[in-house]
Structure 1
Amino acid sequence: MPHHTTTQRLVLGCMGLGGGWDANPIGEADIARAHAAVEAALDAGIRRFDHADIYTLGKAEQCFGELFRRQPALRGRLQLQSKCGIRFADACAPKRYDLSAAHILASVDASLARLHTDHLELLMLHRPDPLLEADELAEAWQRLKASGKVGRLGVSNMHGAQMRAIERAIGTPLAANQLEMSLLKRDWLDSGACFNDAQAPSLAPAASAWGDTLAHCQLQGVELQAWGALARGWYSGAAPGHAPAAVHATAGLVRKLAEELATSPEAVVLAWLLRHPARISAVLGSSDPARIRACAQAQDLTLSREHWYRLYESARGQELP
């Protein structure tokens, strides 16, 4: 039955904006592409936009900053989230993760400058830093919150125990955890559905590594944001010939359901994620206005249990235990 409660559970991912991952400056074509993506998303009811300080080496944020400079009222129509913590190789060291207070504070200031704004609704720590000092992180977070530069703190690519360590230090549950989750990347789901069965060992180590991450987020009210939610486009028209047979079979099922439900294949793939009671939000990794509109149709689609399980079994390539 159509409903619109999932509107705020779609997030536009901005990794593809800003041109190449190189030192070339942004141009009018890059700004126009960002503008078209933003307007398509807003028209479709999508209000949240996902950045990271490293996306196209900062140029994705620069494109947004230029849009805000040209249209100051645009900032009030949307919510911004960005990530920090990944540092690429340089003269000092190899690629590394840095969640030191100094780096977090400097990264936020740099993102705000590029974005031409004075605050982020959400800051996410991009990857787990083995050298993270929880108390130091807590101090940096308090400074960011007190200054009004960041509204909420989240993480990305972290498991439940890592989240609990940070939550203990900052004294409150995290706002969100962004993880790869999709009909193609199902270890988060298989880890529970196939527990205590002979199938479970064949899923290790990816599924077992999830531990209680899903349950922790549900119990603590932490928003799960799925990156890679469109499953690389493999189920909605872009599966390579060498993909497993289960992928091609599931792509066919997705097309069949899309026709039956009078919606887009992208909407079916996303609605499968949105149907889960963990209330997963989907990050859309596309800047193509037509594809954004196709994805937005998921807001009006609730899959039945039967449709959901048909997709799950098809994607797995075998029936459940």
Structure 2
Amino acid sequence: MVESSWDIAMRRIDAEFDVPQFVASSLVRKIAASEFRLPATDRVKFQRLPDHVIERIEQIVRDAYLEASEDVGREILRERFWQQALTARRDLVADGELISEADFRQRLGLTQRRVGKMLADGRVFSMAVDNVTYYPALLADPALDRKRLQEICRIIAPAPPESRLDFLSAPRGSLGNRSPLQMLGDDVDFKRLRQAAVAWAAEWSRTVVRMYVGEHEEEPTDAEPLYTAAAEADPRSPLWQRASEALHADGNEWPLGPNPDIRKFTLFVARQVAGASMLTPEACVQIIVDGELIQIRIVAAPGTALHSETFAREKRESLVEIAKRVVSNLCKRFSSTMSGGDE
């Protein structure tokens, strides 16, 4: 099967740099859509990457499109990516790597209802080709440890189906140039594979925390945030746990300077999937510092009781330190609460 420019670029970036899939996917999309140069307005979003790395990735993307003999304009980029994905899926069907639902059920001896439950909990996954549902043949391979394979499938469920299939079947440098399918039989290998799968799955979703001065119930569109922090995190993890990870992530926050002494601000939590520019709002917490007290009001948060509470402020706490403590308290209080999409 001929590789598309997207496949070539992503593979080469992964081989040269330790860059999360989320970041690599976003970079390829933005660079390809802007005449193979990362727009200056987007540079701050990738400030953790040195200039020479950005320049090298720009070259990788440009070379990938030349190698694939593709000429892409901004207005047709999205359509071309969609066509590339469809062509790749058709090739998988022709090669027998994707099989029909009837064939899949027959090989595993499963009812339609059982397959539906396995799809829902991520133990198997499907791919649509020309409005027909197909399943990866490797998920029905009798030579593989089915229980362990399905466990890995559940872990990597946040990623798109094509990426999950590639993860399972392609050799990976982090696994000693072996594919995950080759590491299912040995206990030590499987433990290593499981750890790699958890880390890889987290790269496909990012949790973003933003804070604005004043009390708000919706994120302002006419004001710059006081502070922004983000971290790659599994979207199935509890909401407040992910927010805490974002606030404690080193180097993935801005501004990096001293935080202003603000007495009234609002904290917003949102989720962003790889390759998407839009964020999905998840939570809103109003925070008021009144002398030695901190008052919070949860305006919106899936699975979290909307309430207000007050607790003592520690001396000389900055805006970010207050936010970290508020989220930490919510994390402890609602430790079993999952994100809204998984309720």
What is the TM-score normalised by the length of structure 1? 0.27
Report which structure shows greater RCO (CA 8 Å, sep ≥6).
1
What is the TM-score normalised by the length of structure 2? 0.26
Structure (1 or 2) with the larger CA radius of gyration: 2
> Higher strand fraction: Structure 1 or Structure 2?
2
